[in-house]
Structure 1
């Protein structure tokens, strides 16, 4: 899975390069980034996990066990 952050997208497009590669679980499917841009979450269908990625260091913080073959994920803010 390739994840390009908005702060890096101009460089990636201009030079057609991969900024970094992050190993996650098996069969990564969906990705979402929290609004403050500090973490990304990737669903891993064959691993039955969600990988939590620290965007500043491009490392997996943890893998969260979830139900069978997670296929969707979203982030947002709670309106009060």
Structure 2
């Protein structure tokens, strides 16, 4: 997964983290296209083990080489 440094909360691509409502993320009409947000490394690891795919990861720079490094390696 490419790493992109973000310095502005309004940067393109952050909408899924900041502006979409729970109903928009859930996508009731097409549940297989729904999105959920996992907010801890433990939950992300469990989701990856269950076969879920990542759309994006948002983490502080210090976690890229730290506690999120193994998660980032598992994401295409």
TM range (shorter): under 0.3
Q: Which of 1 and 2 has higher RCO (CA within 8 Å, sep 6+)?
A: 2
Structure with the higher strand share, 1 or 2 = 1
TM-score under structure 1 length normalisation? 0.24
TM-score under structure 2 length normalisation? 0.25
Structure with the higher helix share, 1 or 2 = 2
